[in-house]
Homo-oligomer: A and B are copies of this chain.
């Protein structure tokens, strides 16, 4: 059994690597380079793939055009990254149709290697306004994939399906599961600002620090000196 794992180098997608491995899949990590400001994500993803001994199966898909298109604070260098709680509704860090784009390209990779699962680390619990992290969205995508895909597995035809093991988990629960699976969190990066040391202030840092604190575990990545990571 083979699974494409959409791997950003962040905490959630890296946890999906551990879960897909536990579920018995050979791992085919897929990372997107869409002109995001934090190039450090690509290095983290490569380190995670190496940790799981699947560097040869690790694909990096360039989506420079999304950066050209703009429309998001995560790809548009002229927009400010907001601090936690500053925004209402769909946040400016939303990349248009991002998960749909990621899933569609992962489907191409899955068809080529004969994978039947695409692991995607979305969560509807810590969901902060992204419409494409909802369970109903994933269900609709899977109905679409059931109609559009066929992969041969042991003389049978199976459709490709998106698997979202974190969708009903809080960050606390995700990290607890990751710790049990010895997920290499020290290799991951989450900060929206994407510097060598995490800012500790953006939405993403805030959720991550809280999740580790709630598990009574120290987050192993470096933070700016002013941030408290004590548990």
Contact = CB atoms under 8 A, between A and B. Distances in A.
Nearest to A100: B104
Contacts of A61: 65
A64 B59 CA distance: 13
Interface in A103-121: 103-105, 107-109, 111-112
A62 B105 CA distance: 13
B131 A140 contact: no
A65 B69 contact: no
Contacts of A140: 140, 143-144, 147
A96 B71 contact: no
Nearest to A94: B111
A101 B65 CA distance: 13
B71 A97 contact: no
B96 A66 contact: no
Interface in A42-76: 59-66, 69-71
A32 to B, nearest CB: 9
Given A61-B65, A69-B112, A97 B143 contact: no
Contacts of A132: 148
B137 A144 contact: yes
Interface in A135-162: 136-137, 140-141, 143-145, 147-150
Interface string A148-187: 1110000000000000000000000000000000000000
A177 to B, nearest CB: 27
B97 A148 contact: yes
A134 interface: yes
